[in-house]
Amino acid sequence: MAKLHRAAEPDVLKPLLERARLTPDSRERVMDHALALLADLRAAQTRGWVNQFLQEYRLNSSEGVALLSLAEAFLRVPDPETADLLIADKIGDADWKAHSGKSNSVLVNSATWGLMLGRALVGDEKTGALRRLISRAGEPFVRQAVGAAMKRMGEVFVMGRTIDEAMKRMKKPENKGFTASFDMLGEAARTKADAERYFQAYFEAIRAVGRDPKAGHSISVKLSALHPRYEVAQYDRCVPELTDMLAQLASESAAQGIPLTVDAEESERLEMSLDIIGSVARRPELKGWNGFGMAVQAYGKRARAVIGWADDLGRPMHVRLVKGAYWDSEIKRTQVEGLSDYPLFTRKAATDVSYLACARDMLAAKNIVPAFASHNALTVATILDWAGDARDFEFQRLHGMGEGLYERLVNEQGYHCRIYAPVGGHRDLLAYLVRRLLENGANSSFVHQLADEQLSEAELLADPVEKIAAVGGTRHPSIPLPVELFGAWKNSGGIDLAERTILAETAAAIAAKPLPAATTSAPTDVRAAIDRASAAFPGWAATPLATRAAILERLADLLEENRIELMALAVKEAFKSIPDALGEVREAADFCRYYALQARTGLAPITLPGPTGERNELRMEGRGVWATIAPWNFPLAIFLGQTAAALVAGNAVVAKPAPQTPEIARAAVRLAHQAGVPEDALILVTGGPEAGAALTSDPRIAGVAFTGSTPTAKKIAASLLEGDDRPLVPLIAETGGINAMIVDSTALPEQVVADVLTSAFRSAGQRCSALRLLLLQEEIAEGVIEMLRGAMELLILGDPADPRTDIGPVIDQAAYDKLMAYRDSAKAQWIKTVPVPATGLFVPPTMIRIDRPEDLTREWFGPILHVATWKAGQLAETVARVNAKGFGLTMGLHSRIARSAELVEAEARVGNLYINRSMIGAVVGSQPFGGEGLSGTGPKAGGPHYLHRFCAERAVSVDTTSAGGNATLLSLDEGGI
């Protein structure tokens, strides 16, 4: 199954196409039935709230997007000031008046009226009777109107705020003949308390549904809601615990006589999910209960294999076949991690083919009770044709969608349809609501297409098998393989650490690699190294640019070929976790390939304009011998990034790694020489500050690239100015910062907490870009802090070679002592800290409360997070207070208000601004990295301007008149001489 996971799309689709194909006779029957279903759906467009909403507010229109964005955040905003900003941001520019009274739905018109009122106050209209009328009521009136519109939307997609309310609503006439699968909206838990709360909600829902077993309702559960560390790296911990919890829920469902279905998760969790589901399915106490089930996502390449797995369990299994819920995130993860291929299909029609093939297998299976979740008329008609007279299966649709498709089938023809019915408070479900709207409202989805009156019936009911066959099952052309993501240069390859066997093999291979005994160089070696590099410089500078670029590309290939050895050095010498060690090798390879491309395109001679009879040219050439001084926290990526840039520009390099990490640098230099860099053009010197001082003080050094602390950068800058006869040479410095993340009350707390943990504590906080100062809007501060407390309790500190480890030790005793002394001095302000192993240089991740941003005056390079608050309406002032610190490396913002993001973009004085994501992990070529002020000189590493700083620019002008002038003029037909 794992090999299928990354198989080429045409290879996976080939057997599916044959399984999903209709015969000519059946095609005619299916089309006739699909047309009838389509007519029912069309007729229902005047009934269903959501159908009419999609007709009125297309999700590819500015109003549709604005409404969606507003719904995602509005109900969770506690303070009126931010709510008003959100309203102004989302509805101020939209033309709501154009939609007023156009819909046949009272609910749609009611929502439109509220939005139109809001637009009248917050938009650009400064006059008019409507504005004058409602301006007397002021902003509270607008908030109430918009709030009412948002709650109306919430009511459509939520069956009830409680399970009792939901069950009562299922008895209404519009749900006649349907049963429900209640989902308690258990999204991914961030804390143990979250998981316990969701577990209790599921348990109580099972008992509530069990009080009326004749109603036929069921419960759906999400495993990620039951455990906050549902991750492959935590398999040994989470799988047994989840198995036990699911078994308890299944046992209670069996006792109550109701079905229980395990919902689908992202593909990286699939094999864990199967282990859990399989273990529970085989429990002897559940023998005889036929209500256990699972969901399968047809967009996954392994979907059909999972159907076979479920059938082979040897007991009845309810299987809910869905198209898929995490398409965007799956595509992005695969690209970001540089994996070989996607775990899912990249074309909508390919997913439809997979769905049909899986459906056919399910109908033929011995032990599967099928449930087909679809809003697609052609899919439903095809399944009905294949099923013949059978009724031993059911259809499913989302609550609020697909009205009209199943009513006739259920109430006149005896088929069974279950409604997937979310249950919970409107405030908590809006992120869920938005995901469902996007999933079902994408331009390619049937529900969205149905709302487009310009699409013909033939287009709506086009055969997906024919569509895929026409393109040979190939991948969508706009979705490149991860290796081709950047087009002009090759993306580095990753390792799928979400595959348990691959993770274990990687960890074992790393453990088997010994750490070489370190050797050191005395400061006197530096002078001899510069002698050798100076002698080698002319020959290396004369090497053709294309040859130097090709050597860097060979070096990138060698880095990937020797990936395990380099990862082992990063783990054992720099104490990096396995994922961080992988990232280290990938970034080093990315630097090499990117700078090779930049050299070819940006360092070639340029012919400049001038008068006739004159040739002007600008050349970029090496300056001489560069010193590159790298830090221990990125001992391969930064070490090689700086060095490769200097080399490809035509310079010789004397490279000094940090004294804590010489061996990984030694390995990198060995590979560079193997790739073709002359041994004297790249020379490694090791040692501490004395070696660095000897290197930078030598007048033969033509430039310095340094990454490290601000005080050290200042010392280097001063040393470069010593001596009246020393040339002025460039210094490229990337230093640290007091990096802040600003969070307003529109942000999603669960996302904030995940990004804070990553930004502040990953790599033990030992990244230049790491989060040091969290600034929370005071109205949401305590809630976010409480969630952070719970999430911090789940962090695992230990041996970085252990796949389970989140945080390893700090780099050395000096760093440990400094961090612990500071942490102890602030003990009265601790918000949260966590226990650490008894031995080793482990600094406990610690959250410290400070009164104001100004109280943090320096960078603490470790897992220590400071938290302060700011007041609503003071975003610009808060940014200014951060700017006033003088550092300018990274800043983060979490907000759903686009105008707030624009304000921070305009006002923040930082090299890298991250919005609604973590603050670490800059990608070469995508997110050039480097700061300003006290955080560095620039240019930004991994960016298009970096190589030029390593070059001397030389302009050459030649008068050609004495040698015949501009001969091309003689070819001009202007009458001759």
Round to whole Å and give the CA distance between 331 and 318: 28
Cβ-contact 734, 707 below 8 angstroms: yes
Single out the catalytic residue among 72, 330, 573, 734. Answer: 734
Integer CA distances (angstroms), 703 to 153, 364, 625, 631, 872, in order: 61, 72, 7, 17, 47
Cβ-contact 573, 660 below 8 angstroms: yes
Sign of the alpha-carbon torsion through 449, 455, 460, 464: negative
- The DSSP call for residue 319 is E
Which residue is associated with the tokens 């612990």?
A: 820
Cβ-contact 942, 590 below 8 angstroms: yes
Is the bond preceding 678 in cis, omega lying within 30 degrees of 0?
no
Q: Retrieve residue 389's tokens.
A: 């007279």
Round to whole Å and give the CA distance between 181 and 907: 49
65 burial (CB, 10 Å; 0-12 / 13-18 / 19+) is: middle
Cβ-contact 226, 190 below 8 angstroms: no
Round to whole Å and give the CA distance between 818 and 861: 9
Name the phi and psi angles at 8, rounded to 5. Answer: -65, 140
- DSSP lists the bridge partners of residue 512 as none
CA 664, 665, 669: angle at the middle one, nearest 5? 120
Round to whole Å and give the CA distance between 188 and 229: 9
Strand order in the sheet with 614-622: 606-608, 614-622, 951-959
SS3 of 566-602: the string is HHHHHHHHHCCCHHHHHHHHHHHHHHHHHHHHHHHHH
β-strand 864-870 against 846-849: which pairing, if any? Answer: parallel
Cβ-contact 626, 652 below 8 angstroms: yes
Sign of the alpha-carbon torsion through 802, 806, 812, 813: negative
Which residue is associated with the tokens 């190589």?
A: 947
Helix (H, G, I), strand (E, B) or coil at 846: strand
- Among the listed residues 430, 437, 424, the one whose alpha carbon sits nearest the alpha carbon of residue 86: 430
Helix (H, G, I), strand (E, B) or coil at 730: coil
Let me know if 621 is a catalytic residue: no
Q: Retrieve residue 919's tokens.
A: 């603050």
β-strand 652-656 against 682-684: which pairing, if any? Answer: parallel
Round to whole Å and give the CA distance between 170 and 179: 8
> How many Å separate Cα 449 from the centre of its chain?
28
Name the phi and psi angles at 284, rounded to 5. Answer: -65, -30
Listed in order, strand segments (DSSP E) in 374-457 are: 394-398, 416-422
Strand order in the sheet with 652-656: 682-684, 652-656, 625-629, 701-707, 731-734
Cβ-contact 153, 122 below 8 angstroms: no
Let me know if 238 is a catalytic residue: no
- DSSP lists the bridge partners of residue 605 as none
Helix (H, G, I), strand (E, B) or coil at 611: coil
- Among the listed residues 675, 681, 724, 734, the one whose alpha carbon sits nearest the alpha carbon of residue 699: 724
Helix (H, G, I), strand (E, B) or coil at 534: helix
Round to whole Å and give the CA distance between 8 and 343: 10
Single out the catalytic residue among 238, 358, 417, 768. Answer: 768
Cβ-contact 289, 256 below 8 angstroms: no
Cβ-contact 717, 733 below 8 angstroms: yes
Catalytic positions, written as ranges: 734, 768
